[in-house]
Amino acid sequence: MVTKVQFGIFSVGDVTTDPTTGRTPTEHERIKAMVTIALKAEEAGLDVFATGEHHNPPFVPSSPTTMLGYIAARTERLILSTATTLITTNDPVKIAEDFAMLQHLADGRVDLMMGRGNTGPVYPWFGQDIRQGIPLAIENYALLHRLWREDVVDWEGRFRTPLQGFTSTPRPLDGVPPFVWHGSIRSPEIAEQAAYYGDGFFANNIFWPKEHFQRLIGLYRQRYAHYGHGTPEQAIVGLGGQVFMRKNSQDAVREFRPYFDVAPVYGHGPSLEEFMAETPLTVGSPQQVIDRTLQFRDYFGDYQRQLFLMDHAGLPLKTVLEQIDLLGEEVVPVLRAEFAKGRPAEVPDAPTHASLLAAKTASAATEPVDA
């Protein structure tokens, strides 16, 4: 299926007490809930499920490919992704192997998003130095990029033991590496990195004002063109978003407020109304969510992927599943139709394994000398 814009869910995977009941799910319940949410995403007609990666409580998803492999076996169409994979503290060799394996098992329904992580102690726990965060992201990804594209790699760098005659197995499915997004909240270096490789750039677009992400995405688009991958408008952009919906907007506000007021990320701070004015958070009716999301295109240009954060702040699973139903039934069909209107033909569709394979085949046919 050709999808101009992919829609999906991204989960942080936090275990948070429901402030309205005082009940805290167990790790087991939360892990199973994440799987249920992913399955619901496919059932509701969404395109993507992405999990975070964390190595400290109260977060459960320390082993993303294990979880995604399990979800892959129980879904047919859903693209499995990450938000984010820690390119700084994971061994790039292990990322290459784990995600190539997942790609085979999922018949290509895999991409991933690189991130540096925002938890200081994770660096020393994995033998790294947080002050080297950007250099680690750059060097580790440079190696990962080669491991997926060259059968035999000789390599030496600053941070990892050298490799001589190393072949990462399994090789990527059909010789097509998983598509990579680079996520960044504040670093222009990462926008530059995404542009250099012609990879996607994902702005999480939650918690911060849109002006901040407009600058980062603008830089990425401009540098994407600079490196000859296409026009700025053809750069591959993904956005996050955070919504809570009920049919009636007053019901949405009333139900979400107690969760918002004590949420781990922004609770005990500005009011819900102030936060909605300052950030892309939308709490209201499906129509309000549609209107707000359509504005993203005006702010950031035509883009390829929209992920929503829905299972956080201690919201019970039942509520999250209702949210995904609303998204699938009332919001995404309208967004698909509206985003297709006036979208220039040269703006690429969201990348998939099939589209990358087709591009590879086409380029091999026209440029037989080019390896």
Partner 1 sequence: MKLVVITAGLTQPSSTRLLADRLAEAVGRRLSEAGKPRVIELRELAVDIANVFVTGFPNGRLREVIEAVTEADGLIVVTPIFSGSYSGLFKSFFDVLDNTALAGKPVLVAATGGTARHSLALEHALRPLFAYLRAVVVPTAVYAATEDWGGAQDPFTDGLGERIERAAEELADLLLRRAPQARTAREEDEVVPFEQQLAALRPPH
Output 256 or 275, the one with its CB closest to partner 1.
275
Closer residue to partner 1 (CB): 198 or 316: 198
- 189 scored as a contact of partner 1 (CB under 8 A): yes
Kindly give the residue spans of alpha helices, DSSP state H, lying in 44-78: 64-73
* Binding status of residue 208 toward partner 1 by CB under 8 A: yes
157 touches partner 1 by CB under 8 A: yes
Q: List the one residue from 120, 251, 269, 294 that touches partner 1 (CB under 8 A).
A: 269
Q: Is 267 in the site for partner 1 (CB under 8 A)?
A: yes
> How many residues make contact with partner 1 (CB under 8 A)?
33
Name the residue with tokens 């200081």. Answer: 120
User: Is the CB of 193 or the CB of 319 nearer to partner 1?
Assistant: 193
Cis before residue 170, ω within 30 degrees of 0?
yes
In this structure, the dihedral spanned by the alpha carbons of residues 287, 270, 257 and 273, taken in order and rounded to 10 degrees, is -30
Residue 59 or 339: which CB sits closer to partner 1? Answer: 59
270 binds partner 1 (CB under 8 A): yes
Q: How far apart are CB 371 and partner 1 at their closest, in Å? A: 21
CA 160, 164, 169: angle at the middle one, nearest 5? 85
Give the one residue of 23, 77, 215, 254 binding partner 1; rule: CB under 8 A.
Answer: 215
**Which position has the token pair 């390896």?**
371
For the four alpha carbons of 256, 259, 261 and 265, in that order, the dihedral sign comes to negative
CB of 177 to partner 1, least distance (A): 19
The contacts of residue 184 (CB under 8 Å, 6+ apart) are 115, 116, 190, 191, 201, 202, 203, 216
Q: Rounded distance, CA 90 to CA 85, Å?
A: 8
Residues in CB range of 332: below 8 A, 6 or more apart: 7, 44, 45, 46
Chain centroid offset of residue 102 CA: 16
* DSSP run (H or E) holding 243: strand 243-245
Q: Does 193 engage in binding with partner 1 (CB under 8 A)?
A: yes
Measured from the CB atom, the residue of 273 and 329 that comes closer to partner 1 is 273
70 binds partner 1 (CB under 8 A): no
Q: Segment near partner 1 (CB under 8 A), from 16-24, 150-158, 293-301, 317-325?
A: 150-158
CA gap 351, 335 in Å, rounded: 18
Task: Note whether 14 binds partner 1 by CB under 8 A.
Answer: no
Segment contacting partner 1 (CB under 8 A): 170-178, 193-201, 287-295, 338-346? 193-201
Distances (CA, A) of 331 to 147, 295, 307, 324: 40, 14, 13, 10
Residue 219 binding partner 1, by CB under 8 A: yes
Among 43, 63, 69, 196, binds partner 1 (CB under 8 A): 196
Contacts with partner 1, residue ranges (CB under 8 A): 134-135, 138-139, 142, 156-158, 188-189, 191-193, 195-196, 207-209, 212, 215, 219, 223, 227, 265-270, 274-275, 278-279
